[in-house]
Homo-oligomer: A and B are copies of this chain.
Amino acid sequence: MATGKTGPLSREELKLIEAYWRAANYLSVGQIYLLDNPLLREPLKAEHVKPRLLGHWGTTPGLNLIYAHMNRAIRARDLDAIYITGPGHGGPGLVANAYLEGTYSEVYSGIGQDETGLRKLFRQFSFPGGIPSHVAPETPGSIHEGGELGYALSHAFGAAFDNPDLVVCCVVGDGEAETGPLAASWHSNKFLDPAIDGAVLPILHLNEFKIANPTVLARISPEELDQLLSGYGYRPITVEITDPDDHDAAHQAFAAALDQALDAIAKIQKTARAQQRKDGPEGVERPAWPMIVLRSPKGWTGPKEVDGKRTEGNWRAHQVPLSGLHENPAHLHQLEEWMRSYQPEELFDAAGALRPELAALAPEGDRRMGANPHANGGLLLRDLDMPDFRYYEVDAAGHGVTTSEATRVLGGFLRDVMAKNVKHRNFRVVGPDETASNRLSALFEATGRSWMAEAKPDDDAALAHDGRVMEILSEHTCQGWLEGYLLTGRHGFFSCYEAFIHIVDSMFNQHAKWLKTTRHIPWRRPIASLNYLLTSHVWRQDHNGFSHQDPGFIDHVVNKKADVIRVYLPPDANTLLSVADHCLRSRHYVNVIVAGKQPALNWLSMDEAILHCTRGIGIWEWASTDSGQDPDVVLGCAGDTPTLETLAAVAILRESWPDLRIRVVNVVDLMRLQDDTEHPHGLSDREFDALFTRDKPIVFAYHGYPWLIHRLTYRRTNHDNLHVRGYKEEGTTTTPFDMVMLNDLDRYHLVIDVIDRVPGLADRGAHLRQEMLDSRLRARAYTREHGDDLPEIKDWVWPYA
Contacts and interface: CB of A to CB of B under 8 A. Distances in A.
Interface of A: 35, 50-52, 54-56, 88-89, 123, 126-134, 136, 145, 147-150, 175-176, 178-187, 190, 210-216, 219-221, 224-233, 310, 313-315, 319, 433-437, 449, 451, 453-456, 458-460, 463, 471-477, 499-500, 502-503, 505-506, 509-510, 513, 516-517, 542-548, 550, 552, 555-556, 559-561, 705, 707-708, 710-711, 714, 719, 729, 732-735, 738, 780, 783-784, 786-788
16 contacts: A55-B543, A123-B787, A129-B783, A132-B545, A134-B545, A150-B503, A180-B180, A180-B185, A180-B477, A183-B186, A211-B436, A212-B437, A214-B454, A214-B456, A499-B506, A711-B711
Contact of A179 (B127, B229, B313, B474): B474
Contact of A547 (B147, B179, B783): B147
A547 B738 contact: no
B784 A128 contact: yes
Contact of A133 (B544, B555, B735): B544
B233 A231 contact: no
A538 to B, nearest CB: 12
A436 B212 CA distance: 7
Contacts of A315: 459-460
Contacts of A556: 505, 552, 555-556
Overall SS of chain A's interface: loop
Given A472-B216, A714-B719, A788-B51, A545 B227 contact: no
B544 A214 contact: no
Contacts of A210: 433, 473
A517 B546 contact: yes
Contacts of A735: 52, 128
A559 B51 CA distance: 42
B738 A128 contact: yes
B547 A513 contact: yes
A455 B611 CA distance: 67
B231 A310 contact: no
Q: Top 4 A-B pairs ranked by shortest CB distance? A: A228-B231, A147-B547, A180-B180, A227-B231
Nearest to A678: B707
Nearest to A710: B714
A734 B128 CA distance: 5
A184 B179 contact: yes
A371 to B, nearest CB: 24
A742 to B, nearest CB: 10
Contact of A134 (B225, B434, B542, B544): B544
A178 B473 contact: yes
B433 A544 contact: no
Contacts of A502: 505-506, 509
A121 to B, nearest CB: 15
Contacts of A719: 714
A502 B733 CA distance: 27
Nearest to A543: B54
B433 A175 contact: yes
Nearest to A221: B454
Given A126-B543, A179-B180, 17 more contacts: A55-B543, A89-B543, A127-B733, A131-B733, A148-B499, A180-B181, A190-B220, A210-B433, A213-B433, A224-B231, A225-B231, A227-B228, A313-B458, A500-B506, A509-B552, A707-B711, A714-B714
Given A473-B176, A552-B559, A216 B229 contact: no
Contacts of A473: 149, 175-176, 178-179, 210, 215
Contact of A184 (B134, B180, B314, B550): B180
A736 to B, nearest CB: 10
A788 B50 CA distance: 9
Nearest to A174: B473
A770 to B, nearest CB: 24
B787 A51 contact: yes
Contacts of A559: 552, 555, 705, 729
A35 B787 contact: yes
A474 B451 CA distance: 28
Nearest to A542: B54
Contacts of A475: 179
A733 B783 CA distance: 57
Contacts of A729: 513, 516, 559-561
A211 B546 contact: no
Contacts of A224: 230-231, 233
In this complex, the member of A129, A434, A435, A735 whose beta carbon has the largest number of chain B beta carbons within 10 angstroms is A129
Nearest to A704: B559
Nearest to A288: B224
Contacts of A499: 148, 506, 509
A545 B133 contact: yes
A788 B54 CA distance: 11
Contacts of A513: 546-547, 729
Nearest to A551: B559
A232 to B, nearest CB: 6
A453 B214 contact: yes
A434 B472 CA distance: 31
Nearest to A476: B180
Contacts of A711: 707-708, 710-711, 714
Contacts of A707: 711, 714
Nearest to A220: B453
In this complex, the member of A180, A471, A509, A561 whose beta carbon has the largest number of chain B beta carbons within 10 angstroms is A180
